Amino acid sequence: MLNPSEQSQIVYPGTLIAIASPVVQVQEVRVNKTSTRVVETVPEHLQELYMRTIDGLNPEQSRQVAT
């Protein structure tokens, strides 16, 4: 169990803390050569557009698109 906050949490015996389910489908993830740091600067809702836009660009050009 992980407590991501700095505040103490009380978990009582019998408390349901997680549910695991089997994986139905695995999708391939495209890894780009650009730094993940650059992708983190692009807002989440624009990341797919950013990844399509930088296809074929060098890392410096990719950084320019991000900024």
Q: What is the pLDDT along the chain (67 residues), one digit of tens a residue?
A: 888 889 999 999 999 988 889 988 887 766 555 555 555 678 888 888 988 998 888 888 888 888 8
Say what the pTM is: 0.41
Q: Is 10 among the domain residues?
A: no
Q: Is 60 among the domain residues?
A: yes
Q: Is 6 among the domain residues?
A: no
Buried/exposed 13-49: b ≥16 CB within 10 Å, e otherwise: eeeeeeeeeeeeeeeeeeeeebeeebbeebeeeeeee
Q: Which amino acid is at 62?
A: S
Q: Is 45 among the domain residues?
A: yes
Range of the domain at 61: 36-66
- Number of independent structural domains in the chain: 1
Q: Is 1 among the domain residues?
A: no
Q: Is 3 among the domain residues?
A: no
Q: What are the tokens at 39?
A: 């992708």
